[in-house]
């Protein structure tokens, strides 16, 4: 087993070294030209490849799309049987082939030329037919595959993927993509939620009680709304305080039985509580509740002119996936 683990580690080192060598021999002029072609592309980016290279090409297309560049994966065989309709003048094509002689891609080249598209190739053979007919060539050659038989595409696909990632990230940087731009394309991801989800999207209708509400009315409101707290407001809906389940218990422990009848919400509430605004990022509200000596489980939501418009719970914020 120990020998197999050593082989495992050795393969990782082989692939990492191949990426390092690719960086060292990088043709900076070609890399710059590839970035410029993609940034200046007036249409879309088409990424193509066959077999394992096709899988890598698909991933590169998705990375480009998620970082602000419209990109589509097209299999060359599909392109030759009608899929060419998606490729038009002004597009940029990125073709992946380790040998640079892949039949399906070579067969596609005349059609690409007739459409006047720019061609970037990521190839393992810079003297290949594909490389010779490309506007930009990015060298993805490797000395050997990590496969013990030197047959299965391993190191070569890893290097091609790394070059595709490098191209996408360089284009992203050139476009000046911000975290907010990235989040807009990833609304369901954690980063997207943290940068786009607002308190207004998670808050509940404000569970309001008046300052003169009796303790039984407060208990009924806590039970009816089932949010763990009620907001205490004046006649204009302005927030005065909050009563949590804990506030209720602590108050009842201190008040004698004979004084319960006269107990009002104003005597039970925590005045001037920490609040959130509807437009506040939900993630900021989460941090506001957690990053303190004693965590807060609920926040009143206060809108314009101090009017209480809702209540947001720590449970809802955590459940949202922030």
Q: Which two tokens stand for residue 171?
A: 């284009």
Containing H/E element for 129?
A: helix 129-132
Residue 133 has a pLDDT of 97
- Separation between Cα atoms, residue 205 and residue 185, nearest integer Å: 30
Give 169-215 pLDDT, tens digit per residue: 999 999 887 777 676 665 656 666 776 789 999 999 999 999 999 99
Give 16-53 pLDDT, tens digit per residue: 999 999 999 999 999 999 999 999 998 999 999 999 99
Q: Which two tokens stand for residue 24?
A: 């060292």
The CATH number given to 199-319 is: 3.10.580.10
Q: Which two tokens stand for residue 273?
A: 């509580």
**2-177 and 199-319: identical CATH topology:** no
Percent of the chain with pLDDT over 90: 73
**Tokens 């404000």 sit at which residue?**
206
pLDDT above 60: residue 98: yes
Residue 149 has a pLDDT of 79
Residue 221 has a pLDDT of 94
**Tokens 């066959």 sit at which residue?**
50
- Separation between Cα atoms, residue 74 and residue 87, nearest integer Å: 9
For residues 57-81, average pLDDT: 93
Give 218-264 pLDDT, tens digit per residue: 999 999 999 999 999 999 999 999 999 999 999 888 888 777 888 99
How does the average pLDDT of the chain come out, rounded? 91
pLDDT confidence of 4, banded at 50, 70, 90?
A: low
Q: Which two tokens stand for residue 113?
A: 């030329």
Containing H/E element for 207?
A: none
End-to-end CA distance of the chain: 41
- Sorted by where each begins, the domain ranges of the chain are 2-177, 199-319
Strand bridging mode 308-313 / 298-302? antiparallel
- Separation between Cα atoms, residue 71 and residue 67, nearest integer Å: 10
- Separation between Cα atoms, residue 138 and residue 198, nearest integer Å: 43
Percent of the chain with pLDDT over 70: 95
The CATH number given to 2-177 is: 3.40.50.10490
């Amino acid at each position: 087993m120990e020998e197999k683990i050593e082989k495992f580690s050795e393969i990782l080192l082989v692939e990492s070294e191949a990426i390092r060598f690719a960086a060292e021999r990088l043709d900076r002029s070609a890399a710059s030209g590839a970035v410029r072609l993609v940034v200046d592309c007036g249409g879309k980016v088409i990424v193509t490849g066959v077999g394992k290279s096709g899988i890598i090409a698909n991933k590169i297309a998705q990375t480009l799309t998620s970082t602000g560049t419209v990109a589509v994966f097209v299999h060359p065989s599909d392109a030759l049987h009608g899929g060419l309709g998606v490729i038009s003048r002004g597009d940029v094509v990125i073709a992946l082939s380790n040998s640079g002689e892949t039949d399906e891609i070579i067969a596609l080249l005349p059609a690409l030329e007739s459409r006047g598209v720019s061609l970037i190739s990521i190839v393992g053979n810079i003297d290949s037919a594909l490389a010779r007919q490309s506007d930009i060539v990015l060298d993805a050659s490797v000395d050997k595959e990590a496969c013990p038989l030197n047959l299965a595409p391993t190191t070569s696909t890893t290097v091609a993927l790394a070059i595709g990632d490098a191209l996408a990230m360089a284009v992203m940087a050139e476009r000046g993509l911000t975290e907010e731009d990235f989040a807009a394309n990833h609304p369901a991801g954690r980063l997207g939620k943290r940068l786009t989800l607002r308190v207004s999207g998670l808050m509940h209708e404000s569970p309001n009680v008046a300052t003169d509400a009796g303790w039984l009315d407060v208990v009924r409101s806590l039970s009816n709304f089932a949010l763990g707290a009620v907001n205490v407001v004046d006649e204009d809906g302005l927030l005065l305080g909050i009563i949590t389940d804990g506030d209720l218990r602590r108050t009842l422990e201190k008040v004698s039985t004979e004084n319960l009848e006269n107990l009002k919400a104003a005597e039970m509430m925590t005045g001037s509580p920490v609040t959130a605004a509807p437009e506040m990022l939900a993630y900021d509200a989460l941090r506001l509740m957690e990053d303190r000596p004693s965590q807060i489980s609920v926040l009143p939501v206060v809108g314009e002119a101090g009017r209480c418009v809702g209540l947001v719970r720590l449970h809802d914020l955590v459940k949202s996936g922030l």
